C-alpha cells in the first residue's frame, strides 16, 4: 500500500470530509473502481443501455476496418479482436450479473468486470495475455465513452466520495450526484464566489481549489481526507489522523442547537423584525430551508433546472419543478428568479456564441428578450404553478429601464393570455449601471434585490474566479459599501422591499454592518440562517445604524476591515468566537 501523501490548495468552502476519490473531467481506468449504485427499478434500463452501446461500439470498429481497406498496411486484426471481446459471453454475462445482482450502474459494472479481466490477464505472465489486457482497457474506455448521465437524475454512491475535478469546478459537478454522499471536492480551479462554490457551501460540502499534482498522487478509489479549513488534502491518511478529525464534532453540536432555537422569526434587541430568507436551487433544498428557520425563499435559482438535461426543459418539466418548490414552502413567500443562462451556467444543449468574456456577454434577460419562446415557456409555467401561492418573479442582469419595461410588459402579456393574475415583479441589481440608476426603476418595480457577487466583480473589473486578480474582489471596499448604503436608502425611501442575496449577506462578519446600513431582508444559504438570526437577536438596530454613520471617514479597504472587526467586537462581544462560523468571502 502506498504511503500517505499531502497536497495543498486554497480553501473555498470550509469544513472537512473523508471519502474515496471519484474523478470527474476525464475518462480514467479505475484500478479501484468507486461504485455508483442504482435502484432495482433501473436494472432493465441499464442492461438495455449496455446492449445499445455494445452495438454502437461494434459498428464503429467495423467502420474503422472498412475505412482502412485491404490494401492498407495497418493490421486490422486487432479491431476484430475488439469486436470479439464485445460479443464474448463471459464479458457480457459478468457485466449483466454485476448490474442485476450488485445493483451497480453500467459504468461501474463495466469497469469492475474489465478490471477483473485485466488482473487475470496480467497474472497469466505471458506476453500474449498482457496484450489482451490492453485490449480490454480499450474496449472498456470505448464503452464508457458512450455513456451519458441520466437526464435530470442524480447518481448515488455506495459510500462517501471526494470528487476530484481536473478542470474548473462547475455546479453540475455537484448536481449530477447524490449530495449526501459527497464528502468533499478538490479541484484545479474555481473561486470562492463561483456558483459551484455557492452551491457546495449550501450543502456544507468542503472544497479546496488550486490543487496541483492531482494526477500524480491520487488514483481513483484512494481514500482522501479534505481539510478545507487548512487547505490540505491528505491522500491515504493514517488512521490516527482520521480519528483526530472525527473528534471535531463540537461545531456541529452548536449548529444543531441554533437550528432548533431559530425556527421562528427574529427581532433585534430594540424590536425590529428582520427577515432571513433562503437561497435555494432544487426542490429538496426547500425542506432544508424550512428546517433551518427560513422566513421565506428569497431566491430560487431556476437555471439549475437545466442541469443534466439534453434539451431545453418543457413546460411540464418547469411546472413539476415549481410545483415541488411551492408545495414544500409551507405557505412562505418564494421569489423565483428567471433563468440566468450564461456566464458559468451554460447548459450543454444550448448553443451560445463564442464570447471572450461570457460573464459580460449574452446572458439572462439579454437572451430572454431575443429568444422569447424560452421566456414564455418559463413564465407561463411559473404563473400556472404559482396560482394560490405567495410568490414573485425576479429578473437578473437588468441593465436599463427599457429592458425592464419590455420584460415586464411581456410577463403581463403572458398572464393576460393565460387569464392569470399579474405577479409581483422585481429586479436583481447586479449590473453597476442599473444600481447607480436605481431611483429610475422605483416606479416600475415591486421589489428589489442586490446580487453582490456579480456586482462586485463588475465594479472592480476583477474576475472572482481568477486567483491573479480576485484579491480586488472585496465586499468591504469603502466605495462599494457606499453604493450599497445608497441603494438600501433608495428602496426604503420609496417603500420598496429590498434584499441582498449574494454571498455578502450570508457572511456572519457582515451581519451587523448590513443591519446598520438599513437592511431588513437577508437571503442566504439555508445553513447560515440560524447563525445570522443569532447575531441579529443580539444587536440593536438603532445602535448599529449609529455606528455606521461614520463610515464615510474610512478611506482604505485595510482600514475598513479593521474597523469591521472592531464593530463586531463592540456590538457582539465574543459571540463571533462561539458560533459555528461558516467561511465565506470577507
pLDDT at 371: 86
Count of beta carbons in the 10 Å neighbourhood of residue 248: 12
- The mean per-residue pLDDT over the stretch 460-471 comes to 73
Q: Are residues 363 and 463 in the same domain?
A: yes
Q: Are residues 375 and 259 in the same domain?
A: yes
Grouping H, G, I as helix, E, B as strand and the rest as coil, residue 16 is strand
What lies within 8 Å, CB to CB, of 67 at 6+ separation is none
Q: What percent of the chain has pLDDT over 90?
A: 49
**Residue 80 lies inside a defined structural domain of this protein:** yes
Q: Are residues 242 and 258 in the same domain?
A: no
- What residues make up the domain containing 285? 252-578
pLDDT at 26: 47
- The mean per-residue pLDDT over the stretch 464-478 comes to 78
* Cβ contact 232:184 at 8 Å: no
Q: Are residues 197 and 326 in the same domain?
A: no
Residue 486 has pLDDT above 50, yes or no: yes
The DSSP string of 461-484 is T--TT-TTTGGG--TT-HHHHHHH
pLDDT at 524: 95
Domain boundary among the residues 121, 146, 171 is at 146
pLDDT at 270: 96
* Cβ contact 248:16 at 8 Å: yes
pLDDT at 73: 39
Tally of structural domains, the chain: 3
The residue among 178 and 162 whose pLDDT is bigger is 162
Q: What is the gyration radius of the CA atoms in the chain, in angstroms?
A: 27
Q: Are residues 223 and 77 in the same domain?
A: no
Q: Are residues 527 and 400 in the same domain?
A: yes
pLDDT band at 426 (very low <50, low <70, confident <90, very high): very high
Q: Are residues 498 and 469 in the same domain?
A: yes
pLDDT band at 4 (very low <50, low <70, confident <90, very high): confident
pLDDT at 583: 45
Q: What percent of the chain has pLDDT over 70?
A: 84
Domain boundary among the residues 81, 115, 146 is at 146
pLDDT band at 330 (very low <50, low <70, confident <90, very high): confident
**Residue 200 lies inside a defined structural domain of this protein:** yes
pLDDT at 30: 43
**Residue 151 lies inside a defined structural domain of this protein:** no
Q: Are residues 425 and 546 in the same domain?
A: yes
Query: Picking from 135-139, 288-292, 543-547, which range would have the lowest pLDDT averaged per residue?
Result: 135-139
- The mean per-residue pLDDT over the stretch 176-192 comes to 86
**Residue 153 lies inside a defined structural domain of this protein:** no
Q: Are residues 236 and 266 in the same domain?
A: no
Q: Are residues 383 and 507 in the same domain?
A: yes
Nearest Cα residue to 199 out of 219, 179, 227: 179
Average pLDDT over the chain reads 85
Q: What is the pTM of this model?
A: 0.66
**Residue 152 lies inside a defined structural domain of this protein:** no
Q: Are residues 349 and 479 in the same domain?
A: yes
Whose cell is 474566479? That residue is 465
- pLDDT digits 0-9 by tens, 398-412: 999 999 999 999 999
Q: Are residues 319 and 350 in the same domain?
A: yes
**Residue 386 lies inside a defined structural domain of this protein:** yes
**Residue 195 lies inside a defined structural domain of this protein:** yes
pLDDT at 180: 86
* Per-residue 3-state assignment (H helix, E strand, C coil) for 499-536: EECCHHHHCHHHHHHHHHCCCCEEEECHHHHHHHHHHH
Task: Supply the CATH number for residue 404's domain.
Answer: 3.20.20.60
Domain boundary among the residues 92, 112, 146 is at 146
Residue 97 has pLDDT above 90, yes or no: yes
The residue among 179 and 64 whose pLDDT is bigger is 179
**Residue 583 lies inside a defined structural domain of this protein:** no
Amino acid at each position: 500500500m502506498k504511503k500517505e501523501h499531502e497536497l495543498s490548495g486554497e480553501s473555498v468552502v470550509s469544513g472537512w470530509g473523508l471519502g474515496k476519490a471519484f474523478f470527474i473531467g476525464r475518462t480514467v481506468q479505475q484500478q479501484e473502481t468507486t461504485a455508483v449504485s442504482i435502484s432495482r427499478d433501473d436494472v432493465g434500463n441499464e442492461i438495455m443501455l449496455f446492449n445499445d452501446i455494445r452495438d454502437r461500439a461494434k459498428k464503429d470498429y467495423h467502420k474503422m476496418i472498412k475505412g482502412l481497406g485491404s490494401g492498407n498496411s495497418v493490421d486490422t486484426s486487432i479491431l476484430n479482436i475488439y469486436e470479439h471481446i464485445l460479443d464474448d459471453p463471459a464479458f457480457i454475462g459478468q457485466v449483466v450479473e454485476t448490474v442485476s445482482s450488485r445493483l451497480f450502474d453500467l459504468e461501474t459494472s463495466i469497469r469492475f468486470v474489465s478490471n477483473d479481466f485485466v488482473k487475470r490477464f496480467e497474472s497469466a505472465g505471458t506476453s500474449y495475455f498482457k496484450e489482451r489486457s490492453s485490449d480490454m482497457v480499450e474496449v472498456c474506455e470505448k464503452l464508457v465513452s458512450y455513456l451519458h448521465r441520466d437526464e435530470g437524475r442524480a447518481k448515488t454512491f455506495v459510500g462517501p466520495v471526494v470528487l476530484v475535478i481536473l478542470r474548473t469546478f462547475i455546479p453540475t459537478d455537484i448536481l449530477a450526484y447524490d449530495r449526501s454522499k459527497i464528502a468533499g471536492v478538490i479541484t484545479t480551479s474555481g473561486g470562492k464566489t463561483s456558483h459551484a462554490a455557492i452551491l457546495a457551501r449550501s450543502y456544507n460540502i468542503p472544497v479546496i481549489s488550486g490543487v496541483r499534482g492531482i494526477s500524480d498522487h491520487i488514483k481513483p478509489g484512494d481514500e482522501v481526507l479534505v481539510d478545507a479549513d487548512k487547505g490540505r488534502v491528505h491522500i491515504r491518511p493514517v488512521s490516527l489522523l482520521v480519528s483526530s478529525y472525527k473528534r471535531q464534532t463540537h461545531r456541529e453540536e452548536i449548529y444543531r442547537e441554533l437550528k432548533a432555537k431559530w425556527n421562528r422569526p427574529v427581532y433585534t434587541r430594540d424590536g425590529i423584525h428582520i427577515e432571513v430568507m433562503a437561497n435555494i436551487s432544487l426542490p429538496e433544498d426547500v425542506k432544508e430551508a424550512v428546517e433551518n428557520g427560513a422566513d421565506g425563499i428569497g431566491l430560487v435559482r431556476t437555471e439549475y433546472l437545466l442541469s443534466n438535461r439534453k434539451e431545453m426543459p418543457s413546460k411540464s418539466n418547469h411546472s413539476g419543478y415549481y410545483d415541488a418548490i411551492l408545495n414544500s414552502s409551507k405557505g412562505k413567500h418564494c421569489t423565483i428568479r428567471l433563468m440566468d443562462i450564461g456566464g458559468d451556467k451554460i447548459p450543454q444543449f444550448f448553443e451560445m456564441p463564442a464570447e471572450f468574456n461570457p460573464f459580460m456577454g449574452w446572458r439572462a434577460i439579454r437572451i430572454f428578450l431575443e429568444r422569447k419562446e424560452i421566456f414564455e415557456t418559463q413564465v407561463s409555467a411559473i404563473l400556472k404553478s404559482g396560482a394560490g401561492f405567495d410568490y414573485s418573479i425576479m429578473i437578473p442582469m437588468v441593465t436599463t429601464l427599457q429592458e425592464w419595461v419590455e420584460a415586464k410588459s411581456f410577463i403581463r402579456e403572458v398572464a393576460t393570455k393565460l387569464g392569470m393574475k399579474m405577479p409581483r415583479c422585481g429586479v436583481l441589481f447586479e449590473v453597476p449601471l442599473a444600481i447607480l440608476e436605481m431611483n429610475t426603476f422605483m416606479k416600475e418595480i415591486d421589489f428589489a434585490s442586490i446580487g453582490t457577487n456579480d456586482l462586485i466583480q463588475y465594479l472592480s473589473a476583477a474576475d472572482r474566479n481568477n486567483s491573479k486578480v480576485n484579491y480586488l474582489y472585496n465586499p468591504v471596499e469603502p466605495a462599494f459599501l457606499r453604493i450599497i448604503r445608497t441603494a438600501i436608502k433608495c428602496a426604503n425611501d420609496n417603500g420598496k422591499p429590498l434584499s441582498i442575496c449574494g454571498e455578502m449577506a450570508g457572511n456572519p462578519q457582515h451581519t451587523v454592518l448590513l443591519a446598520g446600513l438599513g437592511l431588513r431582508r437577508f437571503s442566504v444559504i439555508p445553513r447560515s440562517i440560524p447563525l445570522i438570526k443569532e447575531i441579529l437577536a443580539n444587536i440593536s438596530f438603532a445602535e448599529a445604524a449609529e455606528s455606521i454613520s461614520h463610515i464615510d471617514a474610512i478611506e482604505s479597504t485595510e482600514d475598513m476591515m479593521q474597523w469591521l472587526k472592531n464593530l463586531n467586537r463592540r456590538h457582539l462581544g465574543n459571540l463571533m468566537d462561539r458560533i459555528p462560523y461558516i467561511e465565506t468571502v470577507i
